Chains A and B, each alone.
Chain A
Amino acid sequence: MPIFSLRGLILAIIMVVVLTLLVSAEFGGINTYSTAYRARIGLYGDKLDSLNKVRSWKDRMFMRHVANIEIPTYIVNHMRPSDTVLLPPMSYGNRYMKTNAIWTDPRIFTWMVGFHTIVAWNDTARRHSANAFVVLNENQIWITRHGGATNIDSLLTEYGKGL
């Protein structure tokens, strides 16, 4: 095959047309190659410079995981040495988050912030050992303990709703 020929040039032009149509012509959403390319490659290509300016590992984690990293980080930063935190069920977290509250899974919690004294909601054998509880509302998060302002029984009832 010659490196350059007129017919080779025609094929190269056809290839350019084919590639352009594949990656940029959506045809009203029918061309899923284009939508996939834009979402998975084009988007990053466009934002490469601005994304590369975010050099901090923590910032990149936050950009990807948002509240799912923010909440566990808050919890471990506000835990006392004697605390055993009860992770609420995912349904409780979902009520206050736009994405799935996967941080309520102890494996994800551990992946995000390492090992801490936590108890999963579905760990019925150890649930009674929890002495610190996570409270969420629209824009706030705090840890409550026995004797605090929040009624723990009501909170646990709240946890159990929608399961």
Chain B
Amino acid sequence: MNPTLPFVMTLILQLICGMATIGALRVHMQRSLVMPVALLVGMFLHTLAFFVCDLVHIPLSVQTLLICGLLIATVPHIWWKSVSQFYSQLLTKPTWTLTLYDVVTLGVVGYVAFIAVWASWYWPVTPFDAMAGIDLVAKQTVEEGTIVNRVFTDVSLAGQLSNQPFYAPFAMLLQVMYRMIGFLNGQIWVSIVSICLGWTIWILLRRLVHPFIADVLWVLYVLTPEMLGYSYIVQTDMLNAAYFSTAALLIWYAVANDQRQTLWLSTIFLAGACWSRSESILLVAIGVAASLVFIAKAWNWKTAISYSAITGLVCFLVFALWHLLFFNVYLPVHPSTSEQLIGFDVGRFANVVSETFTNVVATTGLWAGSFLIFASVFVINLAMKRSIKPLLPLVWIVCVFVGLWIVGTIFSAAIVEQTLRRGIFKVIPLLFVYVAGTELMQHASRRLTQWEAGRPS
């Protein structure tokens, strides 16, 4: 089947769904940010609706996929007044112009994006975890039209499934969708997600600092070796990074710009994070708890508590849909998660923390200069400006590490060099946005703006 038409239709429906959802939530968002954020929202809600079809025993097919897409694109339009206002803002005359160095940067990053899209389209799935898990389930789901398929019942795989087929279902569902659309490898969504994340980061960086500095930081982010590799390799982690880090940045955006409605958009992204990696529920709990003070300070404690309660509930429901309802009611076999819980041990925790730094963070082959730039800017900023602001992105960075250390300590299957390494993906965008938000960079940005405009400093 030629994938072009269903692919374009799927993307358009997801985009409309995302834009209408943002409109319905009455979020005021910079227009250049709308497209990537809306597409990510649409992708998440689409997979959720697609999954519900399986729960109610509607066979999964391209028709189901498109009808689901139509449904999720239609429903937010119930709040037509808000949505139409949002649409009219999108249609106003653009004011944004590109400079020459933007064009140079976009040329290089555009080429990287082109190769990423090509590679995700061209190559078959290669990671062991994906072949033994999400893509194995996806391939069979396409064959049988249901997720409760032979992978979980065939005698040849009985007792052999381990954890991989039970991973949080977001990536698996996207594999099912894209395979059904007609892509032989499915995984082209990986590059779409990484482009959306990269685009979001670029726009946020440009809001914070002079476009030249933003462009340099953006290129450093895009060329971070692990992020570059996983921009076309199917795994759950880039997907998780896109939702988790965008959520954290949206919370900061909401607090910094007094935009309460944006908080609710972050709830959707946090739910998307829990839909893509199981341990995110713990990280979300820690991050939201740590954000309470900031939200209360920006508005009041009532808002902070209602936000955390609703976000907690939504994330738990999304988590429970797969891990509790689907596992216990639909699947004939279950993962051996409880056997892997080994309890908390201070010695092991210390070991996990130490290994994280020595074997993962310090490995420049994985992150190139990302952590070095972050650490340098942090120290210089502290020494020169006596400041560690912006605090909220920093808090989320710390929360991710603490959460991953806990996961690495209490789960025997969580290996520092594998599980935690890929869990750190969501920290990388936050590192660069943090760097851009520091007083040191703000100062450099002001100086550069004055110099470029030809004004004396």
Chain A contacts to B: CB under 8 angstroms: 1-5, 7-9, 11-12, 14-16, 18-19, 22-23, 31-33, 35-37, 40-41, 44-45, 48, 51-52, 57, 60-61, 64-65, 102, 105-108, 110-112, 115-120, 122-123, 125-126
CB pair A19 B105 closer than 8 Å: yes
Contacts of B118 in A (CB 8 A): 44, 48
CB pair B101 A11 closer than 8 Å: yes
Contacts of A116 in B (CB 8 A): 156
CB pair B124 A8 closer than 8 Å: no
CB pair B211 A23 closer than 8 Å: no
With known contacts A23-B223, A115-B154, A11–B452 Cβ distance under 8 A: yes
What is the interface of chain A mostly: helix, strand, loop, or mixed? helix
What is the interface of chain B mostly: helix, strand, loop, or mixed? helix
CB pair B119 A64 closer than 8 Å: no
Give 15 A-B pairs besides A33-B220, A44-B118, A106-B157 with Cβ atoms closer than 8 angstroms. Answer: A5-B452, A7-B454, A11-B99, A11-B100, A12-B101, A18-B219, A41-B111, A60-B123, A64-B124, A107-B131, A107-B133, A108-B128, A108-B131, A116-B156, A117-B156
Please indicate which of the listed interface residues B101, B150, B224, B369 has the most CB atoms of chain A within 10 Å of its own CB.
B101
**4 pairs of A and B residues whose beta carbons are closest in the complex:** A36-B225, A12-B100, A107-B132, A15-B101
CB pair B228 A111 closer than 8 Å: no
Please indicate which of the listed interface residues B100, B122, B160, B452 has the most CB atoms of chain A within 10 Å of its own CB.
B100
11 interchain pairs (CB within 8 A)? Answer: A3-B97, A11-B101, A15-B104, A15-B216, A33-B220, A44-B119, A60-B122, A110-B154, A111-B132, A116-B156, A123-B159
Q: Determine which of A3, A14, A122 lies in contact with B99 in the assembled complex, contact meaning CB atoms within 8 Å.
A: A3
Q: How many angstroms from the CA of A61 to the CA of B115 in the assembled complex? A: 19
Within 8 A of A (CB), among B78-134: 97-101, 103-105, 108, 111-112, 115-116, 118-119, 122-124, 126, 128, 131-133
CB pair B123 A8 closer than 8 Å: no
With known contacts A65-B124, A117-B156, A8–B136 Cβ distance under 8 A: no
Chain B contacts to A: CB under 8 angstroms: 97-101, 103-105, 108, 111-112, 115-116, 118-119, 122-124, 126, 128, 131-133, 135-136, 139, 150-151, 154-162, 164-165, 184, 211-212, 215-216, 219-220, 223-225, 228-229, 364-365, 368-369, 451-452, 454
Distance in Å: Cβ of A7 to nearest Cβ of chain B:
5
Distance in Å: Cβ of A88 to nearest Cβ of chain B:
15
CB pair A111 B211 closer than 8 Å: no
Q: How many angstroms from the CA of A12 to the CA of B108 in the assembled complex? A: 13
Q: How many angstroms from the CA of A107 to the CA of B97 in the assembled complex? A: 52
CB pair B97 A8 closer than 8 Å: no
Please indicate which of the listed interface residues B100, B103, B156, B451 has the most CB atoms of chain A within 10 Å of its own CB.
B156
CB pair B136 A4 closer than 8 Å: no
CB pair B101 A8 closer than 8 Å: yes
Contacts of A65 in B (CB 8 A): 124, 126
Q: How many angstroms from the CA of A122 to the CA of B157 in the assembled complex? A: 11
For A20, give the chain B residue with the smallest CB separation: B108
Contacts of B124 in A (CB 8 A): 57, 60-61, 64-65
For B98, give the chain A residue with the smallest CB separation: A3
Contacts of B364 in A (CB 8 A): 32
Distance in Å: Cβ of A115 to nearest Cβ of chain B:
6
Contacts of A119 in B (CB 8 A): 156
Contacts of B115 in A (CB 8 A): 41, 44-45, 48
Distance in Å: Cβ of B369 to nearest Cβ of chain A:
7
CB pair B164 A36 closer than 8 Å: no
Contacts of B126 in A (CB 8 A): 64-65
Q: Determine which of B108, B150, B164 lies in contact with A115 in the assembled complex, contact meaning CB atoms within 8 Å.
A: B150
For A48, give the chain B residue with the smallest CB separation: B118
Distance in Å: Cβ of B241 to nearest Cβ of chain A:
17
